[in-house]
Structure 1
Amino acid sequence: MTDRKHELAANLAKVEERIAAACAAAGRPREDVTLIVVTKTYPADDVRILSELGVRHVAENRDQDAAPKAAACSDLPLSWHFVGQLQTNKVRSVVGYADVVQSVDRARLVTALSKEA
Structure 2
Amino acid sequence: MRKGSIPENLNSVAERIVTACRSCDRRADSVTLLAVSKTRPAEDLRVAYDAGQRHFGENYLQEALDKQEALADCDIIWHFIGPLQSNKTRDVAVHFHWMHTVERLKIARRLSEQRPTGMPPLNVCLQVNIDEEDSKSGVSVEKLPELAASVAALPNLALRGLMAIPAPRGVAEDQRTPFIRLAGLLEDLKAQLPDQPLDTLSMGMSGDMEAAIFSGSTIVRIGTDIFGARK
**Considering the TM-score relative to the shorter chain, is it more than 0.5?**
yes
Q: Which residue in the other structure is 1:3 paired with?
A: none
Contact 1:40/1:60 (<8 A) preserved: yes
Q: Which residue in the other structure is 1:49 paired with?
A: 47
User: What CA distance in whole angstroms lies between the structure 2 residues aligned with 1:64 and 1:110?
Assistant: 20
5+ residue gaps, structure 2: 116-231
Matched ranges for 1:101-116 at <5 A: 101-116=99-114
Contact 1:48/1:73 (<8 A) preserved: yes
Letter in 1 for 2:18: A
Matched ranges for 1:1-117 at <5 A: 7-117=5-115
User: What CA distance in whole angstroms lies between the structure 2 residues aligned with 1:113 and 1:97?
Assistant: 11
Task: Say which SS state the counterpart of residue 79 (structure 2) adopts.
Answer: strand
Contact 1:38/1:58 (<8 A) preserved: yes
Per the TM alignment, residue 70 of structure 1 is displaced from its structure 2 partner at its CA by 1.1
Moved over 4 A (4+): none
Per the TM alignment, residue 96 of structure 1 is displaced from its structure 2 partner at its CA by 2.5
Letter in 1 for 2:55: H
Give per-residue Cα distances to partners, 1:73-99, cap 9 Å, x unaligned: 121011000002211111111222211
TM-score normalised to structure 2 length: 0.47
Letter in 2 for 1:43: P
User: What CA distance in whole angstroms lies between the structure 2 residues aligned with 1:84 and 1:24?
Assistant: 31
Which is further off, 34-43 or 90-99? Answer: 90-99
Structure of greater Rg: 2
User: What CA distance in whole angstroms lies between the structure 2 residues aligned with 1:22 and 1:70?
Assistant: 32
User: What CA distance in whole angstroms lies between the structure 2 residues aligned with 1:88 and 1:74?
Assistant: 26
Identity %: 38
The CA RMSD measured in Å over matched residues stands at 1.1
5+ residue gaps, structure 1: 1-5
Per the TM alignment, residue 28 of structure 1 is displaced from its structure 2 partner at its CA by 0.6
Which is further off, 89-98 or 29-38? Answer: 89-98
Give per-residue Cα distances to partners, 1:51-82, cap 9 Å, x unaligned: 11000100101102111111111210110000
Per the TM alignment, residue 14 of structure 1 is displaced from its structure 2 partner at its CA by 1.3
Contact 2:92/2:111 (<8 A) preserved: no
